[in-house]
Amino acid sequence: MTQPPAVRYAGFIVVAEGIVALVTAVVLAVLASGGTDKHADGFNAYGTAAWFTIMGLGVLAGGWALVTDRRWGRGIAVFVNLLLLPVAWYVFSSHQVVYGVLVAAVAVTVLGLLFSPTALQWAAAPRG
């Protein structure tokens, strides 16, 4: 079965999520190197930047897998976007309503695309 457009669209969104994570890692590393990290040990911002780098690369790879018609990226994309739902709630409950709603909307959109009937048929179809 050929890849449905819904899966490719979800892949592009997941690629964008990975890029956002990598940009966040760069920003954290730059801020930490400039001495703006307010923690006593200074390791916190570098550690968080490393975490965002590792996760961002994984999410980027999963999104690229979806864009290029590889099924293994679907698991990564579903997992990441399920994890973004509680993040959206945290952001929303931290009085950042607009950002919380945006994060939730992106996560629900990707999940909706990946669980659409055509995407499920694509995921369940035998290869070869």
Predicted confidence (pLDDT) at residue 70 exceeds the cutoff of 80: yes
Dihedrals phi, psi of 52, to nearest 5 degrees? -65, -35
Q: Give the percent of the chain with pLDDT over 70.
A: 93
pLDDT digits (tens, 9 = 90+) for 72-106: 999 999 999 999 999 999 999 999 999 999 999 99
pLDDT band at residue 46 using 50, 70 and 90 as cut-offs: confident
Tell me what pLDDT residue 88 has. 97
Give the helix/strand (H/E) hosting 91: helix 72-93
Give percent helix, percent strand, percent coil of the chain, each to the nearest 5: 80, 0, 20
Measure the CA–CA gap between 110 and 10, rounded to whole angstroms.
Answer: 5
Tell me what pLDDT residue 36 has. 59
Mean pLDDT of the chain: 92
DSSP 127: P
Answer whether 106's CB lies under 8 Å from 84's CB. Answer: yes
Measure the CA–CA gap between 28 and 24, rounded to whole angstroms.
Answer: 6
Query: Would you list the domain boundaries of the chain?
Result: 5-124
Q: Give the percent of the chain with pLDDT over 90.
A: 80
Q: Is the C-alpha dihedral spanning 116, 118, 75, 27 positive or negative?
A: negative
Measure the CA–CA gap between 85 and 31, rounded to whole angstroms.
Answer: 27
| Position 27, amino acid | V
pLDDT band at residue 41 using 50, 70 and 90 as cut-offs: low
Tell me what pLDDT residue 42 has. 57
Number of other CB atoms surrounding residue 88 within 10 Å: 20
